[in-house]
């Protein structure tokens, strides 16, 4: 299944179950909470890490729908941009060449 179809199914599920589809601020907070739960599952080596990461993806797709974005298109465009970027190592971390973090080295 393509990301676009998944995003549509996430949206349809939100509507079918009566989830809020207008409060973008709250959706960002809920997404943040899901990222935290995924990180906790990773740190504590719980066996539900995959499920928690799936929750992150589901919330992200729902948020994209709330703001009218086709996440598949956006990810495709961003991957193309990233494929052409140059990176440099700064303090053990790769950063975009020419970024403010690159300049601080």
pLDDT tens for each residue of 50-102? 999 999 999 999 999 999 999 999 999 999 999 999 999 999 999 988 877 66
Catalogue all structural domains in the chain, each as residue range(s) with its CATH number. Answer: 3-103 (1.10.287.1080)
Per-residue b or e along 44-61, where b marks 16 or more CB atoms closer than 10 Å to that residue's CB: eeeeebeebbebbbbbbb
pTM, full prediction? 0.86
CA–CA distances in Å: residue 13 to residues 8, 34, 78, 80, 89: 9, 18, 27, 30, 43
């Amino acid at each position: 299944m393509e990301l676009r179809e998944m995003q549509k199914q996430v949206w349809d599920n939100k509507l079918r179950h009566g989830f809020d589809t207008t409060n973008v601020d709250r959706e960002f907070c809920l997404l943040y909470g899901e990222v935290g739960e995924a990180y906790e599952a990773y740190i504590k080596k719980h066996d539900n890490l995959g499920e928690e990461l799936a929750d992150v993806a589901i919330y992200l797709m729902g948020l994209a729908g709330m703001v009218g974005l086709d996440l598949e298109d956006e990810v495709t465009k961003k991957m193309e941009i990233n494929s052409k970027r140059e990176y440099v190592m700064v303090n053990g971390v790769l950063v975009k060449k020419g970024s403010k973090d690159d300049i601080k080295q």
